[in-house]
Amino acid sequence: MLTLKKKTADILEAAVKAGFGEGILSAADIFAMLEYPPDRSMGDLALPCFKLSKALRRSPVQIADALAAAVKCEEFSEVSAINGYLNFKINPASFATRVVSDVERLGDKYGSPMDGVGKTVVLDYSSPNVAKPFHIGHLGTTVIGHSLKLLHEFAGYKCVGINYLGDWGTQFGKLIVAYKMWGDKALIEEGGVDELVKLYVKINNAIKDEEEQGITTLADQSRAEFKKLEEADEDNLALWRWFVSVSLEEYQKTYKQLDIEFDSYKGESFYTDKMPAQVQLLRDKGLLEIDDGASIVNLEKWNMPVCLILKRDGSTLYPTRDIAAAVYRKGEYAFDKAIYVTSAQQSLHFAQWFKVVELMGY
């Protein structure tokens, strides 16, 4: 039906051009005006001509009469002007003939709008956090993201499915401390990500207990271990790589069950060396402000809290990585569209850094 609706809009565009002049209404304008009448005895498709009155400077009745006489299409058995409406009745035999031949010609692609041909879309979805549980929210974005990918592929887009693994951040400092204190290599090899999660929960509880007593030993140690990791300490890097691969193995079991594959697993860690250039650009554009030692972008004008770019100790944050990742993907894939599928709790995070990259001129 969509195909016939498009074809009708093309025919009407030509009729308007012939009867009223060039460049007044496009096929897309007319397509948007076409309706399916609620009472099908009136017709299978209808054009309410009052919608054209202003552009054509005629009454709806005059317009409907003029167009009814001009429209010729073998797929309609009748085109009639009634009270300012142009009503179309389908000729079932020719409609069916065309549909069957379209199906034969297009096969699996039948019904595709094909409006993505020559365009690229990157989709960021699933993206669980290493050594943290793959929870129901991740399952949701995995399935929705994959469906959006299939829909775009069907529409002709080149699609890049990206699993933006949460594989960097202070949690790794904590995990390293926990592993050094309580870890058991064999147990993790056996139990996989569940064992890592246990360690992570244990260290978090211990840090909390210390905090209640006004102690910060474990928190300080964690920060120090993460700093070492950021400075490419070989031992910490080896542990980190192992934590990532143990987790990834587990996730991939889930993806296999769902029959979902990703084109890229470039996670947050991939962007560590790509952030400084973006931070510098922010600085050059005068967008960075120092607030209590931290570097921020003030978003007051847009009714949002400040976007944190660098912590007081110079370490980067979640928005900083997302900015670097978006810029990298634009360069790598030259995308026409970038889609992020994530939990609604992150909508402020996204609104903030979308605004920041806009201010940066991207």
Regarding 342 and contact with ligand ARG (CB under 6 A), the answer is yes
- 355 given a catalytic annotation: no
Nearest by Cα to 13 from 44, 52, 43 = 52
| Interface with ligand ARG (CB under 6 A), residue from 95, 240, 262, 340 | 340
Nearer to ligand ARG, 85 or 340 (CB): 340
**Of positions 60, 84, 116, 128, contacts ligand ARG by CB under 6 A:** 128
Q: Is 142 in the site for ligand ARG (CB under 6 A)?
A: no
By 3-state DSSP, what share of the chain in percent is helix, strand and coil, each rounded to 5? Answer: 60, 15, 30
Task: Exactly one of 5, 132, 227, 355 is catalytic; name it.
Answer: 132
Which of 88, 164, 226, 251: binder of ligand ARG (CB under 6 A)?
164
For residue 143, which of 265, 260, 263, 266 has the smallest C-alpha distance? 260
222 binds ligand ARG (CB under 6 A): no
In the chain, the amino acid numbered 308 is: L
Tokens of 176: 């390293």
The window from 62-70, 125-133, 153-161, 285-293 that contacts ligand ARG (CB under 6 A) reads: 125-133
Among residues 87, 127, 142, 316, the one that binds ligand ARG under rule CB under 6 A: 127
**How far apart, in whole angstroms, are the C-alpha atoms of residue 165 and residue 134?**
11
- Pick the closer one to ligand ARG by CB: 85 or 164: 164
CA distances from 57 to 30, 49, 91, 167, 242 (A): 16, 11, 32, 62, 72
Question: What is residue 166's DSSP assignment?
Answer: B
Exactly one of 17, 109, 135, 285 is catalytic; which is it?
135
Q: Which residues pair with 319 in a beta bridge?
A: none
251 binds ligand ARG (CB under 6 A): no
Closest C-alpha among 243, 354, 353 to residue 296: 353
154 φψ region: left (φ > 0), alpha (ψ -120 to 50), beta (else): alpha
Is 301 an annotated catalytic residue?
Answer: no
Q: Indicate the SS3 state at residue 47.
A: strand
- Using CA atoms, how far residue 209 sits from 177, 182, 316, in Å, is 16, 17, 27
Query: Within 10 A of 27 (CB to CB), how many other CB atoms are there?
Result: 17
Q: Considering beta carbons, is residue 87 or 126 the nearer one to ligand ARG?
A: 126
- Does position 129 bind ligand ARG by CB under 6 A? yes
| Residues near ligand ARG (CB under 6 A), total | 9
Using CB under 6 A as the binding rule, whether residue 167 contacts ligand ARG is answered as no
Backbone angles phi, psi at 131, to 5 degrees: 65, 10
- 349 an active-site residue? no
Which of 84, 145, 166, 169 contacts ligand ARG by CB under 6 A?
166
Residue 341 CB, nearest approach to ligand ARG (Å):
8
Closest distance of CB 60 from ligand ARG, Å = 50
**322 lies in the site for ligand ARG, by CB under 6 A:** yes
Please state, in angstroms and rounded to a whole number, the distance separating the CA atoms of residues 160 and 262: 8
Closer CB to ligand ARG, 246 or 323, in the complex? 323
In the complex, the residues that contact ligand ARG under the rule CB under 6 A are 124, 127-129, 164, 166, 322, 340, 342
Please give the positions annotated as active site: 132, 135, 138
